[in-house]
């Protein structure tokens, strides 16, 4: 058995390793809150400690409401632009199809500007 190292896996050593990797925080809970947390943790297969830690870190890492609102505003503006583009495309396509079907006269650029009442 040369070259092998013995690793001590006794409960005391494992407990010391676990203690070195984590810190303890104490919170005060009402008995009813403690029961609710324990029941919720059990439903998801976690310890109450892990359940509380996961929930707290998720909330700590969540974007503030203002950030979410700004993201929603950008998304809504992009959606609005996409809808306007789609409507413009459909109108242009229907006019082009009408032109092809009826051989209507096309305006020159100058004529289009004049028709719109704009100087070019």
Lookup: tokens for 77: 């503006």
Q: Contact at 8 Å (CB) between 118 and 111?
A: no
Tell me what pLDDT residue 120 has.
66
Tell me what pLDDT residue 60 has.
82
Tell me what pLDDT residue 110 has.
92
In angstroms and rounded to an integer, the radius of gyration of the C-alpha atoms of the chain is 34
Q: Kindly tell me the number of DSSP H helices and DSSP E strands found in the chain.
A: 5, 0
pLDDT, tens digit only, all 120 positions of the chain: 456 677 777 777 666 666 666 778 899 999 999 999 999 999 999 999 999 988 988 888 777 778 888 999 999 999 999 999 999 999 999 999 999 999 998 889 999 899 888 876
Q: Contact at 8 Å (CB) between 51 and 40?
A: yes
Q: Contact at 8 Å (CB) between 79 and 86?
A: no
Tell me what pLDDT residue 88 has.
96
């Amino acid at each position: 058995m040369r070259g092998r190292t013995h690793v001590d896996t006794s409960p005391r050593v494992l407990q010391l390793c676990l203690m070195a990797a984590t810190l303890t925080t104490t919170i005060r809970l009402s008995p009813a809150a403690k029961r609710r947390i324990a029941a919720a943790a059990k439903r998801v297969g976690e310890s109450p400690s892990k359940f509380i830690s996961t929930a707290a870190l998720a909330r700590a890492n969540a974007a503030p409401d203002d950030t979410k609102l700004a993201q929603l505003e950008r998304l809504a503006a992009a959606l609005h632009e996409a809808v306007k583009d789609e409507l413009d495309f459909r109108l242009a396509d229907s006019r082009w199809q009408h032109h092809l079907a009826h051989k209507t006269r096309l305006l020159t650029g100058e004529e289009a500007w004049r028709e719109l009442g704009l100087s070019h």
